[in-house]
Structure 1
């Protein structure tokens, strides 16, 4: 006799939830605040540092670690492993790359489709009514700016540099915030109240992004955020958020040119909104280029 009852998948064991409910009445108010935040934002916690949680809960990173340990975890890494297993999110960046490459190995057609599908999804998202409105709002803010700052680290640092060059070619003063450590602090020191900040950031509340965000808020700078993480702390403080998916699915590697599509829309949109400044800048570049390439432009070497 066979069992005709349909089999259902076993629900993951919620170790964190069990410990939270068992211990929450024993926690101090500050520890409870952190523990409750983690309980309510588990997916976001996987991409945050202890400092990021501290900023979100207006506590300290030491308080975050104490709260985690009060629930019986050895530390933050132990907590993330438990949450990852519960959510079924075990693949981080290196694993996403490996998964994608292994899946597409020896299949050129699959590789082509993966990249093209990722861009198609991004373009469809950018064409959605909410994003169209956000892009128009961003262009309106850029028109009012004296200068444009572009923040991006890691792979996004290259996009930030390229975008700043495009803005400058079209007659808009622009600069980048794309280093780390003391070099980034020197870049941040150049920020001014009349600037507009374009941020390329995801969910991770890394120190570079948080310090840049804090300085922008202190100066009253308007922030345009390009992101796939619509629930991040950056999204909470942005004046305009443009949602851009980075890949076809969360467990696959991101394709980094998708934000560039949006950045080029912003550059072109601003150029179209201020055609005189754009044409004057292009004419000046043309004249300088001709002077550099004109015969006899280089002085002959003196004997």
Structure 2
């Protein structure tokens, strides 16, 4: 694998390593440099077709260019969106709010309402629901689990990846595995969803990238679209769209809750408040 400086931009990294590639891998690099915006939305097979080569060659080319694979390249391209002067000021609150609004608009335009309805129906009719997500996707799922519990819906949301594996291995065709993954390529989440699918459970995925390993596996995919971010690790803008989708699912299921159950749970909140 080529060694390239990690502080270089994605485009600079590709240019720096491209000269050492063979003809087939070189064509892959050329497409990446010429059509980076398209590559962000493509699968490895689509990039292979555009470069006139195979999927295996695409993966090798990505590794030769200094990335762990195609999914890693695609994420880095999405995160390398050019910054505006407004974005370059870390304390510009107005710019941050504007970015958040843009991210939510992208999610609104990208999400298919029919898939949200399908996911709601699957969750409503499920015998068991197991929530699966790791890394930055974990906290939003824990939030959803508590919110669903507040309207009388029992769900399982193991935090530990191994516990997620244990939970999904006992699912059946009457159950649902709801996964959250920004990239759609998290290895631990993919393993859990694969196990759930093999046992006949319906796999529902909320993600930014529908064309991903998890996107190909899931029965219902709700995609919010890729959001470019200057942040190296945390796709915080993308998580805004994910959170709204999860809230939408919660809102639809909350409508099924009995008033008496919700009223009873309000006492739990009231009892948790200090008198001081």
Corresponding residue of 2:219: 239
* 1:258 aligns to 2:244 (yes or no): no
Maintained 8 Å contact 2:208/2:224 = yes
Report the Cα distance in structure 1 between the residues aligned to 2:25 and 2:274, rounded to whole angstroms: 74
Unaligned runs of 5+ in 2: 1-14, 27-42, 50-54
1:160 pairs with one of 141, 146, 163? 141
The CA deviation at 1:170 is 1.0
The CA deviation at 1:111 is 2.2
Report the Cα distance in structure 1 between the residues aligned to 2:91 and 2:271, rounded to whole angstroms: 50
Over the aligned positions, Cα root-mean-square deviation in angstroms equals: 4.2
* 1:201 aligns to 2:181 (yes or no): yes
2:120 pairs with one of 139, 142, 149? 139
The CA deviation at 1:195 is 2.0
* 1:104 aligns to 2:109 (yes or no): no
SS in 2 for 1:118: helix
SS in 1 for 2:179: strand
Corresponding residue of 2:108: 123
* 1:150 aligns to 2:131 (yes or no): yes
Report the Cα distance in structure 2 between the residues aligned to 1:40 and 1:17, rounded to whole angstroms: 20
SS in 2 for 1:159: helix
The CA deviation at 1:222 is 0.6
Alignment of 1:28-177 (within 5 A): 40-41=46-47, 68=60, 77-80=63-66, 91=76, 96=80, 103-126=88-111, 131-177=112-158
The CA deviation at 1:251 is 6.4
Maintained 8 Å contact 1:145/1:196 = yes
SS in 2 for 1:224: strand
Corresponding residue of 2:252: 269
Specify the structure having the higher radius of gyration (Cα): 1
Q: Deviations over 1:245-287 (max 9, x none)?
A: 352x376754122211010110111222x243xx232132135
Number of matched residues?
231
* 1:179 aligns to 2:184 (yes or no): no
